[in-house]
């Protein structure tokens, strides 16, 4: 619950939440296969940040 609706802050928190979930999936897979865990945990995060930085104004706060 928020007292004041701040769309920019909500988008940033949503991005952080999604990226941390991907990292947790990578850590889970790391126990089975370390190489796959690193790829799953790092590649989507780097892709998300780079693509949003190129296409939008901010890496964690896309203009959607």
pLDDT tens for each residue of 3-33? 888 888 888 899 999 999 999 999 999 999 9
Give mean pLDDT, residues 45-57.
89
Going from the C-alpha of 37 to that of each of 2, 5, 18, 46, 47, the distances in angstroms are 35, 37, 17, 14, 16
pLDDT at 10: 87
pLDDT at 8: 87
Instruction: Find the helix or strand (DSSP H, E) in which 59 lies.
Output: none
Nearest to 61 by CA among 24, 26, 18: 18
Task: Give the pTM.
Answer: 0.79
pLDDT at 1: 67
pLDDT at 59: 81
Domain boundaries, the chain: 7-55
């Amino acid at each position: 619950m928020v007292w004041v609706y701040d769309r920019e802050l909500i988008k940033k928190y949503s991005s952080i939440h999604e990226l941390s979930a991907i990292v947790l999936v990578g850590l889970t897979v790391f126990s089975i296969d370390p190489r796959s865990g690193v790829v799953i945990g790092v590649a989507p995060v780097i892709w998300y940040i780079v693509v949003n930085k190129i296409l939008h104004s901010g890496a964690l706060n896309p203009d959607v």
